[in-house]
Amino acid sequence: MAGKEICRLICTDARASLPPVILTNQEAVVLGRCPITGIMDKKLSRQQVEVKANIEGRVLHLKQLGSHPSLIAGTALMKDQETTILDGDRFQLLNDKYEYQVVFLAQPAPESIKAKPTGSDSKRAKGDITDFFQKKTSKRRISEDEPYPETSSQKKPKMDGPSKATSKRNYRGTVSDSEDSDDDSSKSTTENLNITSDTPSERSGRKGKNYHRVVSDSDDSDAVNQAPSTNTSQKKNYHVRVVGSDRQDSCKDGVSYANRTALNNRSDYKKLISGDDSDRHYRDKGNAVRRKVTSQKNYGGAISNSSDDDDDVQDPESMSIKAKLTSLQQNAKRYLEKRSANCPDTSKPDSQLPATVETDAPPAASAGAGSQLGRPATDSAWEDRGKLVVYTSRGVQASDKIAGFDLDGTIITTKSGKVFAKGADDWRILYPEVPRKLKTLHSEGYKVVLFTNQLGIGKGKLKMEDFKRKVLGVQSKIGVPIQALIATGEGMYRKPVTGMWRYLCNHANDDINVCTSSSQYIGDAAGRPVDWAPGKKKDFSCSDRLFALNVGVPFYTPEEFFLGQRKNAFNLPVFDPRKLSASGPMLVPHHAQIPAQGHAQEVIVLVGFPAAGKSSFVKRHLLPHKYIHINRDTMGTWQKCVAATESALVKGQSVVVDNTNPDPESRQRYTACAKKAKVHCRCFVLNVSLDHARHNEKFRRMTDSGKNHATISDMVFHSYKNKYKEPMTAEGFDAIVRVNFQPSFSNVKEESLYKMFLLEK
């Protein structure tokens, strides 16, 4: 039989022979110059470090207390610095001395546990009333006819009537396990449990000063009419007696006759469950003595193992409870059916997700109503999916309700106060309310999931092993099972794009469909302006709010969710891809046509941002009319573009110049060609803003269309913006035409992606 898992700190220092330190789950232990370690070095502080093992996460949390540093991977810890150590890693307690290795392993089962109990023993193994009493190891009388030994402090009980219960110093309540297979059954009965099945008169006669409780399954109606015997052989310290008769209960008038008092407030006695709620009569010398149980505090209860026929009779209260239970079950079933019909399935990649409805406060606790949960994960695991790394801690359960959180600035912040962490250990929990709130969500059936962008890992600025240690440390602090999805590069997985959410729904939630209306997302990148709170800077981006909008779940900032603050103002991007439409005129003015009416030959000069859709416009609308496509990306230099334009015009062909052409100087090269050839010349300006063009570029990178285009950096976009001058007819154009962007897609999946917010800010 396997025991519970523990953490061992094993000394691996060849210069010292020290005993291992055993840690249980979440137990804080201070190590230093103390008996726990056995170290007597005076340079070592008595309180050198505090260690706490997180068994579920298989990580050791360590805090430096002493002034002399401890070492982890060769790095010295400063006083009050905290860090985490993974299973199998090592640390030095004092500089480079006293090295310990962290090892998580299962504690061996006690030797006394030899085999799994079977039969009646299996029931006994689960625990019964006898578990609450210590076995008395001293000798006991076998027969009740044996007299009590007389001492100066011990007298025979008076037998002239029922007396009060003895005080707790006289209590020796020894009810042993009569089903223990290792003991002889007869010995167990007479020596330890003292179970009797004698006559009612004999039972009545054993009421002495120290008799506290009788738990009887007898149905002998004569028991209430018998006067107590004056048998003086009643043992003084015998308090609890179990009468194991199968006869029906004789007590039918609901009046208690047992002197039921608390079992001396024993610290190891917590609760007894009574299976016999009826009160009984007890008459002493013809005078009825009735004692009620006034509170659960004074009556621990008694356990009855009878098979009374009264169990088949249901009182009105029981019937009412059953009726209420049936009603609740029916209501829950209807609720589940209704919610299943209303909740969209977000696991399908092509599903169209609704926009988030902003609310003033986080949803009220649902106490787990209607939660669909999977089996808890048996082990913690890390999974590397290229630009996505997934961590699943032990105990995580799949759920149809997701509580999603950003990490930095939402769950944690820097301990140093810097904007960016100085290292893997430069963090602390953002607000004291965070662990409590997450534990509440976990108890309500939510799956707690972290969604975090960590581009520094992909660029080599942050080591993945250091970040793993950080995640494990955070999980140890918050104290709930979590799942973490970490985007380490650009592309589909980076927020606000929904790649991480889609992966969760399709591959990391045990095929349980996620209900967006019951889920929520919390993050600090919310698009709040400067001074959204006194002295606060504006949010560095809007990626968290946009991520929630793309997914279709309610969104809250950390202050709104954890602290209950009111909602702050925020700014969404000016460019909203959801509002784009393919309807409406493509060219403005409306009378503009392709090709130009009344002109056999012309030059069209395109003007627009990179990724504004110029090449797509040419291929879709101009090449079918035999225009010659002039493009600097394919030809290399503007000189070659000018030469190709002149050559086409000499041949009587129309030309379209597909370059950005931001200023009069770049455009004048082609108006001069048209003037020289005496042909019509128009300027087509694409109505695409900077953010719209950046959105198009991001979309390219995530689809097949990006294979034919070079990556465009933000520097290129801003360079064009700075050079741009509005085209004018004075430059030599016969007309200036505006081209409205009209998107077209190969499939529904592409359209769904394009109409999401793809830019972080």
Reply yes or no on whether the pLDDT at 509 is more than 70. yes
Percent of the chain surpassing pLDDT 90: 52
Do domains 5-106 and 587-742 share one topology? The answer is no
User: From the CA atom positions of the chain, what is the Rg in Å?
Assistant: 40
In the structure, what pLDDT confidence band is assigned to residue 2 with cuts at 50, 70 and 90?
A: low
Q: What is the mean pLDDT of residues 646-657?
A: 96
Are 214 and 274 spatial neighbours (Cβ–Cβ below 8 Å)? no
Q: Which CATH number fits domain 587-742: 3.30.420.40, 1.10.1040.50, 3.90.400.10, 3.40.50.300?
A: 3.40.50.300
* Structure tokens that stand for 317 in this block: 């209260």
Neighbours of 550 (CB within 10 A): 23
Q: What pLDDT, on a 0 to 100 scale, did the predictor assign at position 82?
A: 86
Q: What's the rounded Cα separation, in Å, for the pair 402 and 449?
A: 7
- Spell out the alpha helix ranges (H) of 537-586: 543-551, 558-562
pLDDT tens digit sequence for 313-366: 455 556 667 777 777 777 777 666 655 555 555 444 443 444 444 445 565 444
Are 681 and 602 spatial neighbours (Cβ–Cβ below 8 Å)? yes
Q: What pLDDT, on a 0 to 100 scale, did the predictor assign at position 58?
A: 85
pLDDT tens digit sequence for 116-154: 444 444 444 444 444 445 444 444 444 444 444 444 444
Q: What's the rounded Cα separation, in Å, for the pair 502 and 314?
A: 52
Q: What's the rounded Cα separation, in Å, for the pair 157 and 237?
A: 11
Q: What is the pairing mode between strands 287-288 and 90-94?
A: unpaired
What distance lies between CA 296 and its chain's CA centroid?
38
pLDDT top residue among 84 and 295: 84
Residue 600 burial (C-beta neighbours within 10 Å; 0-12, 13-18, 19+): exposed
Reply yes or no on whether the pLDDT at 598 is more than 70. yes
Q: Which amino acid is at 178?
A: S
Q: Residue 38 is inside which H or E element, if any?
A: none
Those residues whose C-beta lies under 8 Å from the C-beta of residue 644, and which sit 6 or more positions away, are 628, 630, 635
Residue 158 burial (C-beta neighbours within 10 Å; 0-12, 13-18, 19+): exposed
Are 48 and 70 spatial neighbours (Cβ–Cβ below 8 Å)? yes
Q: What is the pairing mode between strands 602-607 and 655-657?
A: parallel
What angle (nearest 5°) sits at the alpha carbon of residue 468, between those of residues 446 and 102?
105
Q: What is the pairing mode between strands 71-72 and 90-94?
A: antiparallel
Q: What's the rounded Cα separation, in Å, for the pair 288 and 281?
A: 7
* Structure tokens that stand for 444 in this block: 């309500």
Sign of the Cα torsion 246, 250, 252, 255 reads: negative
Q: What is the mean pLDDT of residues 702-722?
A: 89
In the structure, what pLDDT confidence band is assigned to residue 234 with cuts at 50, 70 and 90?
A: very low
Q: What pLDDT, on a 0 to 100 scale, did the predictor assign at position 420?
A: 87
Q: What pLDDT, on a 0 to 100 scale, did the predictor assign at position 353?
A: 41
**Phi and psi at residue 723, to the nearest 5°:** -85, -15
Q: What is the pairing mode between strands 483-487 and 520-522?
A: unpaired
Are 54 and 26 spatial neighbours (Cβ–Cβ below 8 Å)? yes
CATH of domain 381-577: 3.40.50.1000
Please identify which residue in the block is written with the tokens 């990306």.
633
pLDDT tens digit sequence for 239-281: 434 334 443 444 344 433 334 443 344 344 344 333 344 444 4
Cis check: omega of the bond before 589, within 30 degrees of 0: yes
Q: What's the rounded Cα separation, in Å, for the pair 28 and 22?
A: 11
682, 687, 689, 692 alpha-carbon torsion, rounded to 10°: -120
- Which pTM value belongs to this model? 0.59
**What is the full DSSP assignment across 430-488?**
S-THHHHHHHHHHHTTPEEEEEEE-HHHHTTSS-HHHHHHHHHHHHHHH-S--EEEEE-
Distinct helix (H) and strand (E) counts, the chain: 17, 29
* Structure tokens that stand for 354 in this block: 């609704």
What is the 8-class DSSP label of residue 215? E
Q: How would you label 561-571 residue by residue, b for 16+ Cβ within 10 Å and e otherwise?
A: bbeeeeebebe
The residue ranges of every structural domain in the chain are 5-106, 163-307, 381-577, 587-742
Q: What's the rounded Cα separation, in Å, for the pair 351 and 676?
A: 55
Reply yes or no on whether the pLDDT at 556 is more than 60. yes
pLDDT top residue among 448 and 124: 448
- Orientation of helix 664-677 relative to helix 638-650, angle to 10°: 20
pLDDT tens digit sequence for 161-212: 444 444 444 444 443 443 444 444 444 433 443 434 444 444 444 444 444 4
CATH of domain 5-106: 2.60.200.20
Please identify which residue in the block is written with the tokens 């011990």.
154
In the structure, what pLDDT confidence band is assigned to residue 72 with cuts at 50, 70 and 90?
A: confident
CA-wise closest residue to 408 among 531, 553, 525: 525
Q: How would you label 608-634 residue by residue, b for 16+ Cβ within 10 Å and e otherwise?
A: bbbbbbbbebbeebbeeeebbbbbbee
Q: What's the rounded Cα separation, in Å, for the pair 595 and 498?
A: 42
Q: How would you label 53-71 residue by residue, b for 16+ Cβ within 10 Å and e otherwise?
A: bbbbbbbbbbbbbbebbbb
In the structure, what pLDDT confidence band is assigned to residue 450 with cuts at 50, 70 and 90?
A: very high
Please identify which residue in the block is written with the tokens 């946009």.
546
Q: What is the mean pLDDT of residues 56-64?
A: 87
pLDDT top residue among 534 and 218: 534
Q: What's the rounded Cα separation, in Å, for the pair 455 and 693?
A: 22
In the structure, what pLDDT confidence band is assigned to residue 223 with cuts at 50, 70 and 90?
A: very low
Q: What is the mean pLDDT of the chain?
A: 76
Are 241 and 173 spatial neighbours (Cβ–Cβ below 8 Å)? no
pLDDT tens digit sequence for 686-700: 999 999 999 999 999
* Structure tokens that stand for 654 in this block: 């129309």
Sign of the Cα torsion 564, 756, 384, 461 reads: negative
